[in-house]
């Protein structure tokens, strides 16, 4: 047991010291665009399908458009256009729903021009959401204007205990414990309960590991979605690629079930997940 603990500490130390680059999936093309309403990074596969579905993910507190490359690259393997959006660049606060809405509208107005060198000439579906504070902004923005999105995908949104009601199909990823000061009952769980349309919650179970910087820490937590975690909030270990694979697979299952197939819990289940998760759908109570 002592030898195993030493090896775990050594491994976590190496990961933190080297700032291991997440494995990612296939090579992806991306472009950075600056607008008056915000800054975005657009990921796409080249060549791109003529008709595409676009996923917009707003960044969390103190994060930027360059902090979610691994998640975006994994999602585009399913054929999606992925936009990482910073709707309040230069400011660590990302909860403003009006700024969120304005930035999404600018993306929707400009994206086909940005993709003019690819085969994509039509965005069929807009799936919008965000991480942490960006997820809270998305919840309020879509609740106020359901025409802003065809669906919502948010990853551990911040305090959604008093946000408006989302009426479009919604998928949330969250955790069964509080991490990075994001309370489990006010985050993805609250957003799930704040959705009245077809809804799903993928809740990650607590799995503890030993690393040198916090000691005992959850392997998966609020900032696992970011390439190098969040400023001041890390477990000093890298997020395994299978976590991103499971997230991307769940998003594809969600979009397929909501718009191209049949909505059911079985159709939302991830293919052979490695991440320890529980799925809640519609009337299920987390």
List the domain boundaries for the chain: 2-281
Nearest to 22 by CA among 67, 80, 81: 67
The fold for domain 2-281 equals Rossmann fold (3.40.50)
What are the pLDDT tens digits along the chain (286 aa)? Answer: 334 333 343 345 444 444 444 444 445 699 999 999 999 999 999 888 999 999 999 999 999 999 999 999 999 999 999 999 999 999 999 999 999 999 999 999 999 999 998 989 999 999 999 999 999 999 999 999 999 999 999 999 999 999 999 999 999 999 999 999 999 999 999 999 999 989 999 999 999 999 888 789 999 999 999 999 999 899 999 999 999 999 999 999 999 999 999 999 999 999 999 999 999 999 999 9
Global pTM reads 0.91
| Nearest-angstrom CA–CA distance, 124 and 80 | 11
Quick count: other Cβ atoms within 10 Å of Cβ 25? Answer: 17
Inter-residue contact 139 to 166 (CB < 8 Å): yes
| Nearest-angstrom CA–CA distance, 286 and 284 | 6
Cα dist. 106→33, 99, 131, 187 in Å?
Answer: 11, 11, 20, 27
């Amino acid at each position: 047991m002592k030898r195993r603990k030493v090896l775990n500490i050594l491994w976590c130390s190496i990961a933190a010291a080297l700032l291991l680059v997440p494995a990612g999936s296939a090579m992806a093309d991306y472009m950075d665009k600056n607008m008056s309403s915000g800054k975005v990074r657009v990921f796409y596969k080249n060549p791109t399908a003529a008709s595409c579905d676009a996923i917009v993910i707003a960044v969390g507190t103190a994060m930027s458009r360059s902090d979610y490359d691994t998640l975006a690259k994994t999602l585009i393997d399913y054929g999606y256009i992925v936009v990482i959006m910073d709707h309040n660049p230069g400011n660590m606060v990302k909860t403003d729903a009006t700024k969120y809405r304005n930035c999404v509208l600018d993306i929707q107005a400009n994206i086909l021009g940005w993709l003019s060198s690819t085969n994509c000439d039509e965005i069929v579906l807009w799936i919008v959401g965000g991480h942490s504070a960006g997820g809270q902004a998305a919840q309020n923005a879509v609740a106020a204007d359901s025409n802003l999105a065809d669906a919502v995908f948010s990853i551990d949104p911040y305090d959604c205990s008093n946000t408006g009601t989302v009426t479009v199909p919604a998928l949330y990823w969250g955790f069964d414990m509080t991490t990075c000061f994001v309370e489990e009952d006010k985050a993805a769980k609250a957003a799930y309960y704040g959705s009245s349309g077809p809804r799903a919650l993928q809740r990650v179970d607590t799995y503890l590991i030993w690393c040198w910087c916090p000691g005992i820490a959850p392997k998966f937590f609020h900032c696992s979605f970011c390439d190098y975690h969040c400023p001041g909030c890390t477990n000093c270990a890298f997020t395994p690629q299978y976590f991103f694979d499971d997230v991307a697979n769940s998003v594809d299952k969600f979009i397929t079930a909501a718009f191209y197939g049949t909505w059911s819990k079985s159709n939302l289940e991830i293919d052979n997940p490695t991440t320890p998760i529980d799925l809640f759908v519609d009337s299920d109570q987390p």
